[in-house]
Amino acid sequence: MKTKAQLIEEILSIKEVDTKSNLMKLSLAKLESLLSELEDELVQTPSEDLVTKQATPQVDMQALMEQMKRELMPALLEQARKEVEAERPKAEKSTVQKNIVKREEIDRFEQIPVMNITNGTLVYASRKTGAEWIFTDYGDIEYMEFQELLTMRSSQRRFFDEPFLLVMDDRVVEHLGLTKMYQNIKNPEQIDVIFKMNQPEFEEIVDKSPKGIKHLIVSRAKKLYDSGELDSVKKLNFINSRFQTDIGQRG
């Protein structure tokens, strides 16, 4: 014997005669009678009811597809995101590998040119071998073994940081980790442009320059004065006042 719920499901599958809640209020006998009447009608009008019956699954299928689309779309998007994330490290790794340039090896005995950029005489004494290099004036260039420059970096780094010496080989500059510091002072002549500025600009640039650049400015000022290329009394007085030098004041 069928239950009320079963009878109601069958009735509604044939025809929506009423709401499910209202049908539940009917007696079991009444529901059986209603179902029988609907089945008789179904037999009497096969073509119309058949179309309705066939159409219902189509509508339901369309609704089901829409529901599946709504439910699956977030999952599909998440899966796509994961695939993109999974590929990204590979792409980044590939890019990094392409960008890596093997640093050129330098023979430790190779002679490397270095230039004195101090105001006058500079002496470097190796703490490893005891050997000395003497630079008598600004712009003097001497040659030192690459291994000695490595020793200088570890034991007397001030020669690079001030700087007192300027390494004239780009490969060595990179090996010693001086590229960033040298980007503005690799060519001492680049400093000359500031001496052509008006006085307020000149003073501002000098005051705001890093310590190493200031030292280079002083050294370059002396070199330019000695060669007759710098004759601005105001600029020389400013430098002498700021750095306790006496450029242009002797004799």
Give the pLDDT band of residue 51 (cuts 50, 70, 90): very low
Give the pLDDT band of residue 30 (cuts 50, 70, 90): confident
Q: Please give the pLDDT value at position 88.
A: 58
What is the dihedral angle through the alpha carbons of 43, 47, 49, 50, rounded to the nearest 10 degrees? 100
Q: Any idea where the domains of the chain sit in the sequence?
A: 111-182, 188-243
- Higher pLDDT among residues 125 and 72, named by residue: 125
Whether 62 shows a pLDDT value over 80: the answer reads: no
Residues 159-208: tens digit of each pLDDT: 998 788 888 888 998 999 988 777 655 556 667 888 988 999 899 888 87
Average pLDDT over residues 143-150: 96
Q: Please give the pLDDT value at position 56.
A: 45
Cβ atoms of 247 and 221 within 8 Å: the answer is yes
Is residue 145 classed as helix, strand or coil in its secondary structure?
Answer: strand
Cβ atoms of 105 and 175 within 8 Å: the answer is no
With left for phi above 0 and alpha for psi between -120 and 50, is residue 120 left, alpha or beta? beta
Q: What is the C-alpha to C-alpha distance for residues 187 and 198, in angstroms, rounded to an integer?
A: 22
Average pLDDT over residues 89-114: 70
Q: Please give the pLDDT value at position 184.
A: 56
Q: Please give the pLDDT value at position 50.
A: 47
| Cis upstream peptide for 163 (omega within 30°) | yes
